[in-house]
């Protein structure tokens, strides 16, 4: 993996994985490398627990943003203190239940979500195996030991790996968006393009379908909430 980080294109892929705007998919055979201005798909071989070889396919979940239809929401700003992904998710889940969070509750809930990921990935080897895609996303960039040291810090930035874990752990559908015209000068619109989805299997559960939490990712490496 060291050679991968030396290539500008692969540095961009790692950044997308880190920030949660690209993701891994486990496949049984390699895929061709596809590169465009909108998306990159790569595959890397590995094995888990000495089993059959698998491949980690990297790419945007919902395809090219240019092919996605814009949706309209209102942005609820989230404090940018390093907890923004966890804050936005905590705020969104509470909002879906009709529960407003006071600032200290939002902060505490955000830290609880971060530590829940730590407990699953770092403290429980048996449970960790249920989150193979998250483990791959983590270890493609750094050692698990280093990750487990960093995630204990309150200013730890969440991204792809944490979304993979928390969507499953909380049984919560999560959709990540980008602004439709993020780079337009002076843009103040309300149109957003979905680029990744997590926990889609929890949308149509028994009884009342679970409402997704919609997160807005900006080029400032920041997450806000869309409502």
**Catalytic-role residue among 84, 109, 170, 224:** 84
- Which residue from 92, 74, 76, 77 is spatially nearest to 190, judged by alpha carbons? 74
Q: Measure the CA–CA gap between 67 and 185, rounded to whole angstroms.
A: 22
Q: Are 110 and 151 in contact (CB under 8 A)?
A: no
H or E stretch at 57: strand 54-59
Q: Measure the CA–CA gap between 214 and 196, rounded to whole angstroms.
A: 10
Q: Measure the CA–CA gap between 21 and 18, rounded to whole angstroms.
A: 8
Q: Which two tokens stand for residue 35?
A: 């590169």
Decide if 148 is catalytic: no
**Catalytic-role residue among 10, 52, 81, 112:** 81
**Catalytic-role residue among 10, 111, 181, 222:** 222
Decide if 170 is catalytic: no
Decide if 155 is catalytic: no
Residues annotated as catalytic are: 81, 84, 222
């Amino acid at each position: 993996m060291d050679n991968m980080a030396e290539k500008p294109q692969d540095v961009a892929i790692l950044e997308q994985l880190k920030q949660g705007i690209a993701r891994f998919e486990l496949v049984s055979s390699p895929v061709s490398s596809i590169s465009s201005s909108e998306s990159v798909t790569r595959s890397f071989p590995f094995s888990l627990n000495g089993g059959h070889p698998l491949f980690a396919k990297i790419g945007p979940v919902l395809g090219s943003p240019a092919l996605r239809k814009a949706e309209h929401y209102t942005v609820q700003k989230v404090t940018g203190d390093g907890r923004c992904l966890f804050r936005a998710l905590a705020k969104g889940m509470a909002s879906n239940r009709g529960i407003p969070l006071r600032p200290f509750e939002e902060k505490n809930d955000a830290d609880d979500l971060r530590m829940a990921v730590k407990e699953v990935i770092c403290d429980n080897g048996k449970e960790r195996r249920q989150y193979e895609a998250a483990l791959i996303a983590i270890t493609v960039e750094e050692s698990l030991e280093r990750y487990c040291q960093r995630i204990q810090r309150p200013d730890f930035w969440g991204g792809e790996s944490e979304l993979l874990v928390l969507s499953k752990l909380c049984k919560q559908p999560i959709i990540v968006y980008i602004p439709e015209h993020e780079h337009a000068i002076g843009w103040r619109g309300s149109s957003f393009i979905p680029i990744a989805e997590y926990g889609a299997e929890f949308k149509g559960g028994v009884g009342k379908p679970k409402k997704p939490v919609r997160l807005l990712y900006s080029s400032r490496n920041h997450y806000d909430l869309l409502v």
